[in-house]
Amino acid sequence: MKNLTLEIIRLSLTFEGLMETNQVLHEISLNIAPKEKVALVGESGSGKSVTARLILGLLQSRAKTKIQGAIRFEGQEFGWITEKERDQLRGTRMSMIFQDPVSALNPVYNIETQFHEVLRRKYPLITRRQVRKEAIKILEDVHIVHPERVLKSFPFQLSGGMNQRVMIAMGLINKPTLLIADEPGTALDVTVQDQTLHLMQEMVAKRETSVFLISHNLGVVREFSDRLYVIYQGRIVEEGKTEDVFADPRHPYTKALLAAVPGITSGNTIADVINDTSAFRAPKEVH
Ligand SMILES: Nc1ncnc2c1ncn2[C@@H]1O[C@H](COP(=O)(O)OP(=O)(O)O)[C@@H](O)[C@H]1O
Ligand SMILES: [Mg+2]
């Protein structure tokens, strides 16, 4: 049997501060098969981003952290590989696209240099010329009309939408088997966010990449995932094929989430529901 792309097994996470401890994940288990698009949906503060960061090995915290459970990537358990090997996986076999492309890109290097950095992780000896060739090819795939010009630009010289395309291109250039997208584009306006998601969908369809889509927005999840997990206060409370969960939500929290989106069950378009995210936002966004 082919390995699952990702397996999270009873993963718990606790932040141990000086004054208090805060358990933010409670034995969550989930898996993603090759080529599958799986969503993790829940309101702000429910533990979505910490899950993504644990998978990528990017969790940073001033507080001490206690982690239990296991993460397996393509059959390999993270507990058994070295930091260096783990580091090597990032940007090569798994990559991430973020909410805000501008802060994820490096402001002091032009786009070409940043493509070079990314490609060098997989091909340490790659030449400048090969970088340019590969980068232009993938920038064309994300429908950028003047790729040479974009390569010479710095992130601040490009629009939010352009940066987002660049980000998707960089995330996929090394042909990762898993793409993690944490609220992609939500820092940008709704139209750009929608374009971002469609572009991501188009790109992964060509490449047969698995996607782990993290979102507080049920409209987005319905359109862009095959299967979903609902997370509530650090616990997975429901899982299933996306269409089944929408047709027949089981957990009261999922029902409440669905009920909170006006018209979500009556066939509204994504553009209608995407505008109403107020129901899922706690007063303060935590990322
Ligand atoms: N580095 C950190 N140190 C301490 N607590 C954190 C840290 N990162 C996240 N948290 C806490 O973990 C919980 C989940 O956060 P997060 O995963 O960012 O939620 P979201 O579902 O909105 O992405 C929140 O209560 C948050 O305050
Ligand atoms: Mg988050």
pTM of the model: 0.88
Residues lining ion ligand 2 (Cβ < 5 A) are 48-49, 287
In this predicted structure, what is the pLDDT of residue 271? 42
Ligand nearest 98 Cα, by number?
2
List the one residue out of 200, 175, 207 whose CA is nearest residue 186: 200
d(CA 205, CA 259): 31
Is 216 close to ligand 1, i.e. is its CB under 6 Å away? Answer: no
Is 48 close to ligand 1, i.e. is its CB under 6 Å away? Answer: yes
d(CA 271, CA 54): 32
Ligand nearest 66 Cα, by number?
1
d(CA 56, CA 91): 10
d(CA 109, CA 105): 9
Give the closest residue (by CA) to ligand 1 atom 18: 287
| Span from the CA of 48 to the centroid of ligand 2 (angstroms) | 6
Q: Give the full edge-to-edge strand order of the sheet including 64-73.
A: 21-32, 6-16, 64-73, 76-77
Q: Which one-letter DSSP state was computed for residue 157?
A: G
d(CA 42, CA 230): 6
Structure tokens at 208: 């047969």
In this predicted structure, what is the pLDDT of residue 286? 37
- The three-point CA angle 15-179-131 to 5° equals 120
pLDDT class of 184 with cuts at 50, 70, 90: confident
Strands 235-241 and 227-232: antiparallel
In this prediction, what percent of the chain has a pLDDT beyond 90? Answer: 63
Give the closest residue (by CA) to ligand 1 atom 16: 47
Is 68 close to ligand 1, i.e. is its CB under 6 Å away? Answer: no
Name which CATH class applies to 34-63+82-280. alpha beta
Mean pLDDT in residue range 198-218 = 93
pLDDT(275) > 70: no
In this predicted structure, what is the pLDDT of residue 287? 42
Structure tokens at 177: 């088997």
Instruction: Quote the distance between the C-alpha of residue 32 and its chain's center.
Output: 13
Separation in Å, CA 220 to CA 48, 180, 185, 224, 225: 15, 15, 11, 6, 8
DSSP string, 182-195: ESTTTTS-HHHHHH
Is 287 close to ligand 1, i.e. is its CB under 6 Å away? Answer: yes
In this predicted structure, what is the pLDDT of residue 284? 37
Is 9 close to ligand 1, i.e. is its CB under 6 Å away? Answer: no
| Span from the CA of 220 to the centroid of ligand 2 (angstroms) | 15
pLDDT(279) > 70: no
pLDDT(138) > 50: yes
In this predicted structure, what is the pLDDT of residue 82? 80
Would you say 32 and 210 are in contact if contact means Cβ atoms under 8 Å apart?
yes
Structure tokens at 85: 């090997």
Residue with tokens 């997370």: 231
Q: Which helix (H) or strand (E) holds 99?
A: none
Residue 87 phi, psi dihedral angles, 5° rounding: -60, -40
pLDDT class of 278 with cuts at 50, 70, 90: very low
Rg (CA), the chain: 19
Is 234 close to ligand 1, i.e. is its CB under 6 Å away? Answer: no
pLDDT(285) > 70: no
